[in-house]
Structure 1
């Protein structure tokens, strides 16, 4: 971001770093390095991921639609980061970043909701899911994201705006937890769903929740706890988390890619089985040793 993740004319948003001029040299160096890595690696990866996910779109299959929109919002964030690093400081860049950031949160909720409906409400979802409905939902998400940015455009009181964004970013957190718990409960009773598909669905929901918890929750805490805004370490950590969120979202492509996800899950299960076999063989040897000695 421009001058160590500082917004121009937006002083109190949760990713703002007002004390960049007073920050330690090491913190500035780490921030600068992280931003360059995210921009240089994120832009090509994001373009490849968008093309790859687009190829997965089939009729009556809406999950890739939400993931593509999520990746597009991440791409906008990366472009804004690149513009800030290039020295551009227009307000439109800041507003575009906020729009994309808010949109990414909305599409994360849509992805979790879609996976929940597939398992918990299969009959209802079977008759409702289609590309047209998915595109309408995406339009609603972008509209709500645009509406959440409007207070900044009209220079509303910063405290009011902070409360709005704190609510916008905090609300999805319990919703994502609910979708994960309820989906796991529904999967336990879904005997017709293959085991590999169950693991893939749960993995996608866990990835979404982890990304949101690790990368967005620090900024929510930053917005709600005023004392942390003067903590340089926590302030920089919150900025780094948001910078890394576009790269983390690319992992969702592997969660919906059957071949890649199945290989990963099979390798994990294979390693676990090997470990269990070693433990069992060791236990057998230990128990049989005393018997041979007595004979």
Structure 2
């Protein structure tokens, strides 16, 4: 996760600049209103559903801030603060995906352990995630310790793998959980798992600056769309039908 402190549009030229502008305009015109709409819908659902969706809401809020930063870049504002906030929100979104994965994993493997599902506990977790990222990410950038950002981004990979493997093994024994809910939890974990390892590729490509620029921004600018699709799937349960074949033996 390379930090240059500069506007990525003004740092690019030719087709690269055109591609970034088009992607950012799509995010602003399509993803921005959809994100606001889904945040409203998810907030309303929190009052009616037993499953806490506060982690989903914070994930969407981090995406909303990222899109606002894109507006700053589009109008050619040069500010190192905008890049810092953007990378901060990327890290916040990553850790809220970890919270979602852990909550789904515990729902299957330890249904009596509902610490991540209680409103008070989930609010505390959200505060801790924001506090950790607000302190650690800018500090690493200011001190030019970008290696720390790579470590912060790589650690969740172990949790994603653990949650997916542990949940898959525990599905047959989770007789108290409806089959439809099992499929939904497994589908969410699979999507989060693959999305994480798609996002981690740009960080690994730090050693090739040219390759890093292309892959990094392609996936970073597509992430808000993927998060919207994920939230819609979780709300409507479409993952169940897409992944029913994977769970037919459960």
For the aligned pair, the TM-score class normalised by the smaller chain equals 0.7 to 0.9
Structure 1 equivalent of residue 183 of structure 2? 199
Structure 2 equivalent of residue 132 of structure 1? 120
Say if 1:19 and 1:46 are closer, same or farther in 2 by CA, change over 3 A.
closer
Cα deviation digits, residues 214-268 of structure 1 (max 9, x gap): 2x21222123xx2x11x3x4421211111111111112222321xx225x64477
Structure-to-structure mapping, 1:13-92, within 5 angstroms: 20-21=11-12, 23=13, 25-58=14-47, 61=50, 63-92=52-81
Cα deviation digits, residues 74-113 of structure 1 (max 9, x gap): 0000000111111222333222212211110110000000
Structure 1 equivalent of residue 5 of structure 2? 10
Structure 2 counterpart of 1:168, from 152, 165, 184: 152
Q: Does 1:246 align with 2:224?
A: yes
- For 2:5 and 2:96, the matched residues in 1 are separated by 25
Say if 1:210 and 1:19 are closer, same or farther in 2 by CA, change over 3 A.
same
Q: 1:59 Cα deviation (Å)?
A: 7.3
Instruction: Could you list the structure 1 runs, at least 4 aligned residues long, displaced by more than 3 angstroms after superposition.
Output: 16-21, 58-63, 264-270
SS of aligned partner of 2:120: helix
Q: 1:152 Cα deviation (Å)?
A: 5.2
Provide the aligned length of Structure 1 versus Structure 2: 244
Structure 1: tracts of 5 or more residues without a match: 1-5, 271-295
Structure 2: tracts of 5 or more residues without a match: 246-250
TM-score (norm 1): 0.74
- For 2:23 and 2:75, the matched residues in 1 are separated by 15
- For 1:58 and 1:163, the matched residues in 2 are separated by 41
Say if 1:245 and 1:194 are closer, same or farther in 2 by CA, change over 3 A.
same
SS of aligned partner of 2:237: helix
State the structure with more CA Rg: 1
- For 1:183 and 1:94, the matched residues in 2 are separated by 37
TM-score (norm 2): 0.87
Q: 1:117 Cα deviation (Å)?
A: 0.8
Structure 1 equivalent of residue 112 of structure 2? 123
